[in-house]
Each structure stands twice: as structure tokens, then as C-alpha cells.
Structure 1
Amino acid sequence: MSSTPPTFLIVGATGQQGGAVLTALSKLLSEGHNNATTPRPKILALTRSAPDSPKAQALTSKYPVLDLTVVQGDTKDPEPIFAAHPDIGSVFLYTMPPDEEAQALPLLDHVHHIVLSSVDRGGDAASWENPTEVAHFKSKHEIEVRLRDFCTQKASQKVKYTILRPVAFMDNLNPGSLFGPVFASMWSTMPAEKPLQLVSVRDIGLFGAKALLAGADGDDGKWSNKAIGLAGQELRFEEAREIFRRVSAGQKEMPQAPWIIGKGVRWVIGEVGTMFRFFEEEGYGVDIDALRMQEPELQDLETWLKESSKFEFDGAA
């Protein structure tokens, strides 16, 4: 085993998913989850902000257990990043609309392991075959296929992928902006009997961190060239509201904008309407029971509310 520390590039390190990966890496490494024969990895936290900005600099103090360096760059133009850091071997990557392919595909020739956060599109098999009519789902499907085909072509060079396919984020419900109540309002417009699968961003970070560490340690076959759907619970809207009431000991209701606002957003913003029709007509398809057997710490909504959300529940159960 090489004595050279592996180097991980974490895209969007100051965002939700990149930050969750850093948090999980910090926890796992402090608990000794990396292979004892593998040196602790170097972490490059990629941000579009200047490395000396307050938000970027806060990363180094937030994760003292990590050998972390903040770097500025854009995955659409990755050459300067890799010229300055040629030892990067693995990348945690997620993309945001628009131009998602342009954010991902330029990385393919530069690393040996890409951990991609994508989206579930109806379960393991369906996700490979079903781009859906949702524009940003289609973009992620295209990236997945291109990544899989590239790794197949480079198999002799041990180039590999791990694709994570999360469902709707529990974190969409968080307080602090209008989006949480509006997301709840849109969810409420779905048929009462139709459930929605949800996942904690914390768990996306946990799976992303484990995939990176496994790749650096040589992998046990569980992560290499695998696509993994991520969901912590499947709930109808009224079930989610009841869980919120229970966690708050009956003191609060889940924040929700008026029902008509949810309908209006679905109508005015075409892609949002298309996405919610996908939820209603096809839906996510993660095997949550099987995933929980793989990761017992997987959060359901109640656990997320208590442990990871930004809600405060005074005197809650």
C-alpha cells in the first residue's frame, strides 16, 4: 500500500452536500474508519469564493481533524485546479442547474474515482433506463451514462465511479427561508394517499464520505462502479405533519405556506410542475429497508428533526 496520502476534492464545500461530506469525513476519520495502512487523506475543499473569504476560511476551523485546504475553482474549467494539485485522485461531485453536464464531464479525464451525487428516478434499474421528463433529472441521467461508459472504457486503468441517487431532501423543510413552507405547500398538493420518499442531506454526506474512503483503501466491491439510491423514509404528507407534531410535543405545526401557493408554484414554474407530476405518477423507488440494513444510522424524518434539522423544539419529547 502506498505511503502517499490520498487526496480528495470536495466540490461545493461551502454548500449543503459538500459540507455534509466534510462533516462525515471528520466524524469517520476521528473514529478511525479509514484503513490503518492508508495514510489519512488530504482534503481539498473546492469553492467558487476566494479562499480568504470568511465563509471559506471558516471551513478550516470547523473541521480541525481534517488535513483541509480551501481552493478556488470551477469544475467547468478544471485544468487550473489539477495543475495546482496533480495528486487529486478522487472527487465528490454534485451539479446544479443549468448546464449540469458542463460542470461534470470536464472532470472525467483527471481522476480515478468520481463519487457523483445524482437523483433517483424510480429505483435502481429504472434510474438507468428512465431519464424522466424532468429537465434536471435528464441532465443527471446523461452525466451518469457518460460516467459509466467512460469508466468502462478506462477499466484497465482502474477508473471507477460511485453514483449516489438521493430522493427529495428532508432539509427542504428547514426553517430560515420561504422555501421550506413553500416546499411543504407543494407537497400538500399531491394526492393524499401518495407517499414521497425523503432523505437527509446528512446521509448523502455519510455515503459520500464512505465511498471516498473505500475507494482510497482499495474498495471491498461495495462501492466501486455501483449506483446506490438514497432515501430514509417514505411518507404521505399528513404522516409527515403528524411526526412534526409529535416531535414538538404538540406545540408546533410543520411550517406550510397556503395550499394555493403550492399550486401556483407548480403551475408557474414548469419544471417544478413536471417534477411533482413525476412524484405522483411514477415516484422514487429506493429500497429503504435494504439500505437501512447497509447503513443502520440512516435517518428517518423524526431522527432528522431531532438531530440534524434547524428546528428548535422546546420541551419536545
Structure 2
Amino acid sequence: MLTIAVTGATGAQGGATARALLTRGHQVRALTRFPDSPAAVALRELGAQVHHADFDDRASLDAALAGADSLFAVTTPFDTDTTVETRHGKTLVDAAAAAGIGHIVFTSVAHADRDTGVPHYESKFAIEQYLLESGVPATIIGPAAFMDNYATGWTLDSLRAGTFAWPMPSDQPLTLICAQDIGAFAALVLDRRGEFLGRRIDIAADELTPAQIAAELADALATPVAHQRVPLEFVRSRSADLAAMFDYFSTQGLDVDVTGLRRDHPDLGWSTFADWAARQDWPALLAAAPTGH
């Protein structure tokens, strides 16, 4: 049994990783800025130790990481910006090095190492480079596009009108993965560190075009859904970062070896998009107040 610290434990990736690690019998330290939140309480009830930790408070990180064997590290630019994300990532790496952490699994993003020009890909790649230069034993995983995002934001708003609004051509393939699978894969890597040390692995569980995604959503919702291409200019008016990402998806693509991952790790039970969509409570999601995106 390992003692594994998990940052972002009340978020999608961190929460999924914490749960997967608990299932594997490890001792989990759930690091969060909000130790009394419902998500933190739920993890505590599952057996995790919940620790307050803040990337802007190095002492809190030092205390939370003391004595841990391994670390699952996730950072985000969306509550701050990419400059802050990079600073947070470097602070976390420094704290892990000082604590003598034996293995860091950093979740970046697929293609972050390919000079994409996408701001939040570049910030994650800067953290990757800093991590590798630190000398701390590490593995980097790069998740593809999140299936979970299709049940939020403008996608959910558009589904209420019977369309799947997405800023890509209908026939352009996109690789996808859900948070549950990211957590399962991260837990596998942490469990078998010797097999994965020093590797960078992009991960995805399915590949579909927007037209195919719309068809799968229509099946899950039992109502017609048609893909509607959102103009990139509309996205850019709200986020230059996301516009750059969708431009990359549309022109370069986000290829990941889905077949190879399923072949090499069949025990993980990779979720197809249809699997994920079938697990969602669409009536409740659609009944919620629109986000205004």
C-alpha cells in the first residue's frame, strides 16, 4: 500500500483518481482548497484523508506532501490564467522534490509536446519540462478531449434546442476520454510505477466526428440531435485560448492510439462515448438552469 497525495481531489480528474486509488487499496491524501466541500466530505467518507492545500501557499503543500510516497498532480488555467498555472505547477514540483516524493504522475493534455500554439497546452508543457528537469521520478499522461464537457456549458445549452453545437467540421475526428478513465489510468500508473517511470503517454478511449457524437447523443437522449458548427469567431470572442484549441482540432487533429491503449490495458474497461452518454442523467441535466454560454 502506498500513500499517494492527489491534487485537485475535489475536481473531475483528481476526484476520479482518488476514488480509483482507494479501490486499489492505497492510502489517499486528498489535497484541496476546500476541505469542507461536499466533494471533500464524500472522499473522506470513502476513506481518504483530506488535507487543505493551496498552490499559492507553499507551506500548505509542504505539510500535505510530507511522508507521501507518490503524487498525482493536476493544474488548471481556467480559474486563473496560463501564467499562474505554470507558476502553480512549478511550485508543486518544488514542494514534491523537497518532500522526497518517489513518483509524480502529472496529467497534462494530449499533444502538449507538439508545439500546438494553444495557450493552455503550452502552459502544461512548460510544467512538463520543469518536472523533467527537476529530477523527480515522473510519468506524464496527456488526456484527449473530455467527454464530461459534453454535459456542461454551451453543449448542454444547445442540446435543449435539439442541436450539438461544436466548433469543428462535422467530419473531423476527435479523440475523447472521460474523467473516470483518466482516474483509472492514473491509478494504474501510480500502482505500477516501475513500468511507467520516465514515460509520456497520450490517452483516449474513443474517436468520433462531431456528426457521430451528435448521433450518440441523440440515442442517449432519445430525441433528434444534429451537429451545428459554431463559428470560430464566436468562440474567439469569448476565449482566444479555446479558439486556438478548436482551430488546432479542426486543422491538425488530436490523434491518440486508442486501439493500442485498449490492447495494452484491457482491464481498465475503457468507456466509449456511448458508454459515457448512457451513464448521464440527461433529464436532470437538461432541466437545470441554462449557463448563458
Q: TM-score when scaled to structure 2?
A: 0.82
Q: Name the stretch that deviates more: 138-147 or 267-276.
A: 267-276
Equivalent AA in structure 1 for residue 31 of structure 2 = L
RMSD across aligned positions (CA): 2.6
* Corresponding position: 1:198 with 2:176: yes
Equivalent AA in structure 2 for residue 193 of structure 1 = D
* Corresponding position: 1:232 with 2:205: yes
What residue in structure 2 maps to residue 211 of structure 1? 189
Quote the offset at 1:59 in angstroms: 2.0
SS in 1 for 2:24: helix
Rounded to whole Å, the distance in 2 between the matches of 1:190 and 1:55 is 33
Quote the offset at 1:52 in angstroms: 3.7
- Correspondence list, 1:59-208, <5 A: 59-61=43-45, 63=46, 66=47, 68-83=48-63, 86-97=66-77, 98=81, 99-108=84-93, 109=97, 110=99, 111-121=101-111, 127-128=112-113, 130-151=114-135, 159-174=136-151, 178=154, 180-181=156-157, 187=166, 189-208=167-186
Check conservation: 1:241, 1:254, Cα contact below 8 A. yes
* Corresponding position: 1:23 with 2:19: yes
Q: 1:164 to 1:85 in 2, by over 3 A?
A: closer
Rounded to whole Å, the distance in 1 between the matches of 2:43 and 2:141 is 24
Quote the offset at 1:310 in angstroms: 3.7
Equivalent AA in structure 1 for residue 27 of structure 2 = K
What residue in structure 1 maps to residue 291 of structure 2? none
Quote the offset at 1:185 in angstroms: 5.1
Q: Name the stretch that deviates more: 68-77 or 137-146.
A: 68-77
SS in 2 for 1:96: coil
Q: 1:298 to 1:148 in 2, by over 3 A?
A: same
Q: 1:253 to 1:115 in 2, by over 3 A?
A: farther
Q: 1:213 to 1:11 in 2, by over 3 A?
A: same
Rounded to whole Å, the distance in 2 between the matches of 1:267 and 1:293 is 41
**Which whole-Å deviations, capped at 9, do the CAs of 1:228-277 have from their partners, x for residues lacking one?**
111111111111111223344xx224597x75577522444211211111
Rounded to whole Å, the distance in 1 between the matches of 2:3 and 2:226 is 41
Quote the offset at 1:135 in angstroms: 0.6
Q: Name the stretch that deviates more: 204-213 or 73-82.
A: 73-82
Which blocks of at least 5 consecutive residues in structure 2 are unaligned? 285-293
Q: Percent identity?
A: 31
Equivalent AA in structure 2 for residue 141 of structure 1 = F
Check conservation: 2:103, 2:137, Cα contact below 8 A. yes
Quote the offset at 1:82 in angstroms: 2.5
Rounded to whole Å, the distance in 1 between the matches of 2:4 and 2:226 is 38
Q: TM-score when scaled to structure 1?
A: 0.76
Rounded to whole Å, the distance in 2 between the matches of 1:265 and 1:85 is 39
| Bigger helix fraction | 2
